[in-house]
């Protein structure tokens, strides 16, 4: 039997909080952890075309449908943070979502 979602990811959202100096900063807060996922690097040709874009997508992440997940959140898979660039409802049936992700700038 093949496991449809063999990986695990955590999802974070950005929250604006006041810092110690009275200013504001963005902090990442955990939304959900240990979400079953299928994490798949994009193919070579897709990667070539993605590099032509300003924010290239390097990873496709499939998860069970969850309307709380939005673009500009981030996932962490095996300690690697990736920004969610797009959220697609696969087949339009509210069963599986495709997250188009890019590596965060170091």
Tens of pLDDT, residue by residue over 15-69, are 998 888 888 999 999 999 999 999 998 755 444 454 555 556 689 999 999 999 9
Tens of pLDDT, residue by residue over 81-106, are 999 999 999 988 999 999 999 887 65
Its pTM stands at 0.80
- In this prediction, residue 36 carries a pLDDT of 96
* Ordered DSSP codes for 29-94: EEEEEEEEEEEEEPPHHHHHHHTTSSS---EEEEEE--TT--TT-EEEETTEEEEEEEEEEETTSS
First-residue to last-residue Cα distance in the chain: 38
């Amino acid at each position: 039997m093949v496991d449809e979602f063999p990986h695990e990811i955590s999802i974070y959202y950005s929250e604006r909080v006041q810092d110690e100096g009275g200013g504001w900063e963005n902090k990442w807060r955990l939304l959900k952890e240990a979400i079953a996922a299928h994490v798949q690097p994009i193919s070579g040709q897709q990667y070539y075309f993605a590099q032509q874009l300003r924010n290239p997508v390097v990873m496709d992440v499939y998860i069970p449908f969850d309307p709380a997940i939005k673009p500009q959140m981030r996932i962490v898979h095996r300690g690697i943070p990736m920004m969610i660039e797009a959220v697609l409802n696969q087949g339009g049936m509210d069963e599986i979502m495709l997250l188009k992700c890019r590596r965060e700038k170091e």
